[in-house]
A and B are shown apart, each in its own frame.
Chain A
Amino acid sequence: MKRVVITGVGLNSPLGNSYEELYENLSNEKCGIEYISSWEDIDHLGTKIGGVVKDVDFKLIPRKYRRSMDRVAQLSALSTADAIEDSKLSQDLLSSVRCGIAFGSTMGGNETLFEYIPEVKNSMSFRGQNSMAFLKIMSHTVAANLAQMFQIKGRNLPTCSACTSSSQAIGAGFESIQYGKSDVMICGGGEGLHYLAGGVFDVLGAASTNYNDNPKEASRPFDENRDGLVIGEGSGAIVLEELDHALKRGAKIYGEIIGYATSCDGNHITTPSKEGMKQVMQTSLDDANIKANEVDYINAHATATHAGDIAESNATFDVFGSDVAVSSTKGHMGHLLGGCGVVESIICLLALNKSLLPKTMNFNKLDKDCASINILSENVKKDIIIAMNNNFAFGGINSSLIFKKFKG
Chain B
Amino acid sequence: MVTLEEVYSKVKAILVDEFEVEADEISMQSNLFKDLELDSLDAIDLMVTLDKELEVEIKTEEMKDVQTIKDVCNFVLGALNNE
Contact = CB atoms under 8 A, between A and B. Distances in A.
Interface of A: 63-64, 67, 127-132
Nearest to B59: A127
Given A63-B19, A64-B37, A130 B51 contact: no
Given A128-B52, A130-B45, 8 more contacts: A63-B20, A127-B51, A127-B57, A128-B51, A129-B48, A130-B48, A131-B44, A131-B48
A128 B57 CA distance: 9
A129 to B, nearest CB: 7
Contacts of A64: 37, 39
B1 interface: no
Interface of B: 19-20, 37, 39, 41-42, 44-45, 48-49, 51-52, 57
Contacts, number: 23
Contacts of B44: 130-131
Nearest to B21: A63
A129 B20 CA distance: 20
B52 A131 contact: no
A89 to B, nearest CB: 26
Nearest to B40: A131
A209 B26 CA distance: 53
Contacts of A131: 41, 44-45, 48
Contacts of B37: 64
Contacts of A130: 44-45, 48-49
Q: Which 5 pairs show the lowest CB-CB distances between chains A and B?
A: A130-B45, A131-B41, A63-B20, A130-B48, A131-B44
B15 to A, nearest CB: 11
A132 B51 contact: no
B75 to A, nearest CB: 17
A132 B41 contact: yes
B37 to A, nearest CB: 7
8 contacts: A63-B19, A63-B20, A67-B42, A130-B48, A131-B44, A131-B45, A131-B48, A132-B41
Contacts of B52: 128
A132 B45 contact: yes
Contacts of A127: 51, 57
Contacts of B57: 127
B17 to A, nearest CB: 12
A128 B19 contact: no
A67 B19 CA distance: 9
Nearest to A59: B20
Contacts of A67: 41-42, 45
B11 to A, nearest CB: 16
Nearest to B52: A128
Nearest to B20: A63
A106 B13 CA distance: 36
Nearest to B39: A64
A144 to B, nearest CB: 14
A378 to B, nearest CB: 49
Nearest to A132: B45
Nearest to A63: B20
A129 B44 CA distance: 10
A123 to B, nearest CB: 12
B27 to A, nearest CB: 20
B61 to A, nearest CB: 14
A120 to B, nearest CB: 13
A131 B42 CA distance: 8
A64 B41 CA distance: 10
Nearest to B51: A128
Contacts of B42: 67
